[in-house]
Each structure stands twice: as C-alpha cells, then as structure tokens.
C-alpha cells in the first residue's frame, strides 16, 4: 500500500512538473507570437499595400492607409463583402478571373 502511494505521489509530481513546463512553453510562445504580430503590424503600416486577400476574394488585413482610403473599419475589412465595398464591380470581375 505504501509503495502504491509513493508511486502515485511520484507520478503526480512528474505530471505537475510536466504541466508547469508546458505552461511555460505556452507563455513563451504566446509572447513570441505577440512580438511577431507587433512587428508585422508596425511594418505593414509603413507600406501602401492593397488588402491581403484570401481565397474567395475575402479581405483579411488592411493597413492604416487603406482604412483611411476606403473608409472601412478594421472589422469591416474582415467582412465577407469588404472586397465588394473596396473595388468597383467591373474591377471585381477581373479579380475573380475568367468565368
């Protein structure tokens, strides 16, 4: 019985230690991702680029200049109809490619 208790305590300690290590790695990775995002955001605001488009002609990002130019909010830029608000219908057809 004492051996089982000791083994269980040892397993619990090992699990607790592994959990702490994992939590530390998550915190470190989260900090790295926040720093990378901040660097990307800072860099992207310097260039007058067009919105990043994903498949389906859905906008995923716009920098400050684009927001000022289009009059859209960051939330509106991520909406499904943002591209239709930004581009003229004829130009949008060109973006969609041949039918």
- Residue 61 in contact with residue 44, Cβ under 8 Å? yes
Clarify whether residues 59 and 33 are in a common domain. Answer: no
Same domain, 5 and 30: yes
Secondary structure E strands in the chain: 52-54, 58-61
57 and 85 share one domain? yes
- Please tell me whether residues 40 and 1 are part of one structural domain: yes
pLDDT (0 to 100) of residue 68: 79
Asked if residue 88 and residue 57 are part of one domain, the reply reads yes
Tokens of 99: 């039918």
Total count of domains within the chain: 2
Query: Are residues 56 and 29 both part of a single domain?
Result: no
Q: Considering just the CA atoms, what is the radius of gyration of the chain in Å? A: 24
According to DSSP, residue 47 is labeled S
Q: How far apart are CA 37 and CA 74, in angstroms?
A: 15
Domain carrying residue 65: 52-96
pLDDT in tens, 2-50: 889 999 999 999 999 999 999 999 999 999 999 998 887 777 666 655 5
Are the C-beta atoms of 51 and 66 separated by less than 8 Å? yes
69 plus 33 within the same structural domain: no
């Amino acid at each position: 019985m004492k051996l089982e208790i000791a083994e269980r305590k040892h397993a619990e300690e090992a699990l607790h230690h592994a959990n702490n290590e994992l939590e530390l790695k998550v915190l470190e990775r989260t900090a790295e991702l926040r720093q990378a995002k901040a660097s990307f955001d800072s860099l992207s605001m310097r260039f007058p680029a067009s919105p990043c488009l994903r498949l389906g002609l859905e906008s995923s990002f716009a920098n400050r200049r684009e927001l000022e130019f289009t009059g859209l909010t960051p939330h509106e830029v991520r909406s499904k109809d943002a591209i239709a608000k930004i581009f003229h219908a004829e130009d949008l057809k060109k973006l969609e490619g041949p039918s």
